[in-house]
A and B are shown apart, each in its own frame.
Chain A
């Protein structure tokens, strides 16, 4: 098969969906969250003694542990499901394109858009904090590590929540349960049970790269294992989602 017959439709879906994600009304939600993170971190910068530790802790608690799964849930679970519900999925389903490849196009757009949003939120939080407390090499390293970890987390969460949109008719309920109960609550319980969350492996990678604050002392899994698990989660949900998307009917 000619490569263009795959690349062109995938890029077409990715461009179309990215535009939908980034420029629909939900950008206001992302903006509010970014402003909130900036405000909290900006205010915190005036209060704390150890800027490197405190800044890293805030980025961990606010973004990695809380905001990332929620934003991923909001965008991911609705992306394909909304198109199935309003039947705009028809234009993709009736294209001469393997549906599994089309699904990959949706994934690219979600992962890309989510990565951009998370990097921007990290950047705003970091600027609000470190602009007041000194933007040195160490703080830049924290930003770079948190952005990289956020991108890895975005890739995994995108696969998980995008798949929920094809597995379930009401993925938002699953998403709410997963983001708030499983990731936030179960993920906070000390002990091995917290290891059954994406958050644990995202934070474990961050713990290997950042030596400051709560994330620097996080007792996580080894970085290589965590990366392998995140890649495994991403691939597994991508494959499962693509199979279900391919075999589903679209009345």
Chain B
């Protein structure tokens, strides 16, 4: 079983999933997923449809698994509503009642948590400061920007001061400034307030800005988990596809075949475009200036087919 935790962490896991499966009719949401998540910030990374939201819903107990086992703080979540006082959830979809103000909405959530009135008002003021929404709490949410709505959703998840925070795609649809702010907020929630945060995204580099512990999910499976650098090493052991377009590509292709890092070379639709499969991309890129000079090739365009996350996952599952 893979574990999204740096070596040396011996605390009991926050979440432990063993062969966890969930399907919706013919559609598979999770497929025998194994993962262990410890305290701190953990990124759940995977392309759209990989099963990230399904995993969160299983952790929250809003849906029931079809097979396998899931333990959250050592307990099964389905039907375990008492445990929900330890978990805060910020879903990836919009559901805020737009005719309410931020304060009214948080009072409603506080009521659901059975928070006492004075304590609730104090806590609302606290979380408004944490998510930097203090000035806007008396405004109707219909007038909020996407970033403000995201902050208020996080405030709602934080309100009852849960041990575990689940943030599903919190950066989705945000502008760069809001993304930066939310990333800083998430880091602060763990560093300054001690929350264990599990955050999902389909963008690896965004997660890297928050944490080094990640679990990669693809097609309902955790294909790897651990420290990002280890996973990057795993990825780099697989051949990378690089496309080169320009003039005199035939000469360049011949020269590339002799290189030790080259796995294969092939022409694409015409002789001005080749695909090179390399085992050590760093050496390939380092040697390119020399090869271009040697062969007289004129490269107009060079790009990797594997920069997107989908390719990374294909590597991980051996495609």
Contact = CB atoms under 8 A, between A and B. Distances in A.
B81 A99 contact: yes
A49 interface: no
A93 B63 CA distance: 10
Residue from the set B60, B99, B111 with the largest chain A CB neighbour count within 10 Å: B111
Given A86-B95, A98-B81, A249-B64, A91 B114 contact: no
Contacts of B63: 249-251
Q: At the interface, is chain A mostly helix, strand, loop or mixed?
A: helix
Contact of B24 (A5, A13, A250, A251): A251
B112 A13 contact: yes
Given A86-B95, A91-B156, A16 B62 contact: no
Given A94-B62, A95-B84, A8 B111 contact: yes
Nearest to A20: B97
Size bin of chain B's contact surface? 20 to 34
Contacts, number: 78
B13 interface: no
Interface in A3-44: 4-6, 8-9, 11-13, 15-16, 20, 23
A251 B81 CA distance: 16
Nearest to B83: A96
Interface in B74-110: 81-85, 87, 89, 91, 93, 95, 97, 99, 108-110
A88 B97 contact: yes
A90 B95 contact: yes
Interface in B112-134: 112-116
B95 A91 contact: yes
B57 interface: yes
A87 B64 contact: no
A8 B24 CA distance: 35
A8 B108 CA distance: 10
A233 interface: no
Nearest to B89: A94
Contact of A94 (B87, B93, B99, B116): B87
Given A12-B111, A93-B62, A87 B91 contact: yes
A231 interface: no
Contacts of B115: 8
Contact of B93 (A16, A87, A95): A87
B140 to A, nearest CB: 13
A229 B68 CA distance: 45
Residue from the set A94, A99, A249, A250 with the largest chain B CB neighbour count within 10 Å: A94
Given A8-B111, A87-B91, A97-B81, 17 more contacts: A9-B111, A9-B113, A9-B114, A13-B111, A15-B111, A23-B99, A88-B97, A90-B89, A91-B108, A91-B109, A91-B156, A92-B112, A94-B60, A96-B85, A249-B63, A251-B54, A251-B63
Interface of B: 24, 54, 57, 60, 62-64, 81-85, 87, 89, 91, 93, 95, 97, 99, 108-116, 156, 160
Interface of A: 2, 4-6, 8-9, 11-13, 15-16, 20, 23, 86-88, 90-99, 249-251
Q: Which 4 A-B pairs have the closest CB atoms?
A: A12-B111, A95-B112, A96-B85, A88-B95
